[in-house]
Amino acid sequence: ALLWQFGRLVFPYVLVIPLAKLVQDFWIFTWRMALVRAYLQRWNPASSAIEGASQRVQEDTMRFAQGIQGFVSTLLKSLLTLAVFVPVLLGLGR
């Protein structure tokens, strides 16, 4: 009996978290690609040569994306955890 109660508590979380991770990874990939494309459109290859320019673009994009990714993923994870466990908490409160 307790195993079924535990299963009902954990089952929504087990379903939601992997799906959320998949969506997060897809979003991060497409967002980074969009940032790189935006940088490359503004980059003028005829300007004075900058040593390692492509590496600088990649590193700057990666740093910016990691900062935003950390914030957004933490926020989404917290909201999803709250959404999964609110019905459980309301059920336990009755």
- Backbone torsion region of residue 49, taken as left when φ is above 0, otherwise alpha when ψ lies between -120 and 50, otherwise beta: beta
pLDDT above 70 coverage of the chain, percent: 95
Q: Which two tokens stand for residue 51?
A: 């040593």
pTM assigned to the model: 0.52
Average pLDDT for residues 10-34, to the nearest whole number? Answer: 83
Residue 73 pLDDT: 81
End-to-end, the C-alpha distance of the chain in Å comes to 19
Cα dist. 74→24, 41, 47, 63, 78 in Å? 11, 31, 40, 17, 6
Q: Is the pLDDT of residue 81 over 80?
A: yes
